[in-house]
Amino acid sequence: MRVVSDGWLDDTDVEIRWEMFNSIGFPDSVTILRRINFTSTAWSVAAMVEASDLLYVESNMQTGKYSFDYQVIGLNACLDTVATRIHNSILLNGSNVETANTIDLVWNEYLDWDNGVDHYEIWRKLDDGPDFTFYEDAGIDTSYRLTTGADGFFHCYRILAIENGGNSEESWSNEICLEFLHLLEIPTVISPNGNGLNDVWKIGNIEYYPTVTVEIFNRWGQRLYYSVGYPELWNGTYNGKDLPVGVYYYIIDIKREGIEPYTGSISILHRE
């Protein structure tokens, strides 16, 4: 067996590649066996193919749920059963913590290359990126913590196992995607008295939304502040003059599908 790998273009495909020595002594076909890894599931026949094919692709597999073992068997010229080593696909799982901007990835070891795995690579696709690109080298670990949740909203990952020597084969894992909402963190008060604390309205995570609109009104509905983006933090003024202590009202529209505009009140306190 050379390698078992999830498909590059479609991670529900599983590619099985093998090689044959002294193929003249083998019959025309071989049998590809499959079972679920880490279980007592019995072997089942995935396919019977021409022995000279040296490649079989099994489609529509639940690669995001299971790691699969594969083995290729056949009969030699003496009608003895010969079999490859058992190789397995890589199942990647992951979780994220929104408040800490952390991502935890964990995957099973790829087994039975002659010299083992040289290293695992983490590949990432971010938000609307067109394709996966190399992100980090994980060494020979099978778990990894990333602290890069702030990089975007949708983080998709795959693991690539690189063979140590031998045929320099590569095995891809399934794809997983994790979402960071990056919801706004909106203070309810400012105290623009020049002491350096809460002098301006600092809205957390607003930098993720370059087309956001921010509006502030007084209690009579007069608009006192408007911006596209939030390049200058509101300091409790209108036309350059200090507004009186009191309650004001905001509408913040981050222009993201499925998320309604934020509405609420912001109070000005302690001008002296």
187, 201 Cβ separation under 8 angstroms? yes
What are the CA-CA distances from residue 47 to residues 55, 82, 259 (Å)?
11, 17, 48
Binned at pLDDT 50, 70 and 90, residue 235 comes out as: very high
pLDDT tens string 160-188:
999 998 678 999 999 999 999 999 999 99
pLDDT tens string 202-221:
999 999 999 999 999 999 99
H/E segment holding residue 218:
none
pLDDT tens string 82-140:
888 999 999 999 999 999 999 999 999 999 999 999 999 999 999 989 999 999 999 99
Tell me what the pLDDT averaged over the chain comes to.
93
Q: Which of the pair, 60 or 19, is modelled with greater confidence?
A: 60
251, 263 Cβ separation under 8 angstroms? yes
pLDDT tens string 19-39:
876 655 566 789 999 999 988
State the pLDDT at residue 2.
93
State the pLDDT at residue 81.
77
